């Protein structure tokens, strides 16, 4: 039964939250002082620091998010729900005339009708569960690192997101070509100089081990950086390449940019929002994504140290919190 809290109880809770906020900021400052002089002199990059240990505050953020993805029944049910909805749409909306890709909106309907159909899915945290990598980093007190991420990919040990395999098999059985469009980066590694794209080799091995469809020739897997025009994390160039040969009938991802670039979505929000649950299917991901980069964009100057960048990013996040609704009445 819901119980109304007294004014004193609410004030006590507010003081506790304020105290926690100050503790977090002090933790960030302590982290900054604890860094070696060499690390403090490093120039922060726009992405996460490549080798810096995680601050206590960052670690707590990632801990809850990772535990939710790994342990919460609610997360498993949410992904099953998304994929079941997508499967139910296969014989109805997805099979109907039209396209899911904004890249094909100017293509004539007669031209689209003549094309075979395709479904595009993102990989990480959409089809592949990489929370084991995140858990390892947390247990070692570290953030994302390119070197450890590459090592994780080479293991080809990611498991399937609940519901993904059944949906993709059903899509292929219904006659749709499945394309796996990922921002895993294609680059040579010192550990395997003979392979021009170790990420592709390992990812194909992982996907095939899970029994996913349309991987016989490997052409359905499209990595960032495989072609000069694919160097951006923006996937529109790769969707456009698919759109030349297929009518794209559905998109599945865990980030808004798996469907459309953010500025385009914001300019046409009312129109594009209706695609979610019909031709666009979005899975939850609280660990990382363009949503976080958008909130913290500009927090770190190019000359800023890793520690200062961490503190500024934390402050920017606190500044984005909404303590009350925008239209709340004033008292």
Question: Tens place of pLDDT for every residue, the chain, 331 residues?
Answer: 434 556 566 566 656 655 655 555 455 445 444 433 333 333 333 334 334 455 565 666 789 999 999 999 999 999 999 999 999 999 998 999 999 999 999 999 999 999 999 999 999 999 999 999 999 999 998 888 999 999 999 999 999 999 999 999 999 999 999 999 999 999 888 777 889 999 999 999 999 999 999 999 889 999 999 999 999 899 999 999 999 999 999 999 999 999 999 999 999 999 999 999 999 999 999 999 999 988 898 889 989 998 888 889 889 999 999 998 988 777 6
> Structure tokens of 227?
């072609």
Domain ranges for the chain, please list them.
76-290
SS3 126: coil
> CB of 79 within 8 A of CB of 147?
no
Give the separation between CA 136 and CA 132, rounded to whole angstroms: 6
Output the pLDDT for position 311: 87
Q: List, edge to edge, every strand of the sheet that includes 117-121.
A: 221-224, 177-185, 117-121, 247-253, 280-282
Give the separation between CA 63 and CA 56, rounded to whole angstroms: 10
Angle separating helix axes 56-71 and 73-89, nearest 10 degrees: 60
With 0-12 / 13-18 / 19 or more C-beta atoms within 10 angstroms meaning exposed / middle / buried, residue 31 is buried
* Domain 76-290, CATH class in plain words: alpha beta
Give the separation between CA 321 and CA 301, rounded to whole angstroms: 22
> CB of 158 within 8 A of CB of 130?
yes
> Structure tokens of 172?
């292929």
Cα distances (Å, whole numbers) of residue 140 to 65, 137, 168, 272: 17, 5, 35, 41
- Residues paired with 280 in a beta bridge: 251, 276
């Amino acid at each position: 039964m819901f119980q109304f809290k007294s004014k004193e109880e609410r004030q006590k809770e507010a003081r506790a939250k304020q105290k926690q906020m100050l503790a977090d900021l002090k933790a960030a400052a302590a982290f900054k002082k604890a860094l070696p002089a060499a690390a403090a002199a490093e120039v922060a990059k726009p992405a996460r620091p490549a080798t810096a240990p995680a601050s206590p505050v960052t670690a707590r953020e990632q801990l809850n998010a990772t535990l939710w993805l790994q342990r919460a029944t609610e997360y498993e049910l949410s992904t099953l729900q998304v994929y079941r909805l997508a499967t139910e749409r296969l014989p109805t909306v997805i099979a109907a005339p039209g396209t899911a890709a904004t890249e094909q909106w100017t293509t004539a309907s007669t031209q689209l009708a003549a094309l075979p159909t395709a479904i595009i899915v993102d990989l990480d945290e959409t089809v592949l569960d990489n929370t084991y990598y995140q858990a390892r980093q947390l247990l070692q007190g570290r953030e994302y690192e390119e070197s450890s991420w590459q090592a994780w990919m080479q293991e080809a040990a990611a498991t399937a997101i609940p519901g993904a395999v059944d949906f993709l098999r059903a899509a292929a059985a219904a006659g749709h070509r499945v394309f796996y469009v990922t921002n895993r980066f294609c680059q040579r590694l010192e550990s395997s100089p003979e392979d021009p794209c170790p990420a592709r080799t390992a990812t194909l091995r992982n996907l095939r081990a899970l029994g996913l469809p349309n991987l016989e020739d490997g052409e359905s897997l499209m990595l960032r950086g495989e072609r000069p025009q694919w160097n951006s994390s923006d996937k529109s160039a790769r969707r456009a390449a698919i759109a030349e040969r297929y009518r794209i009938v559905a998109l599945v991802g865990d980030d808004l940019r798996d469907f459309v670039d953010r500025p385009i979505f914001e300019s046409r929000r009312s129109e594009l929002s209706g695609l979610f649950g019909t031709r666009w299917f979005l899975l939850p991901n609280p660990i990382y994504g363009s949503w976080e980069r958008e909130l913290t964009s500009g927090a770190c100057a190019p000359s800023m140290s890793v520690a200062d960048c961490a503190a500024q990013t934390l402050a920017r996040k606190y500044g984005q919190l909404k303590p009350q609704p925008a239209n709340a009445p004033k008292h």
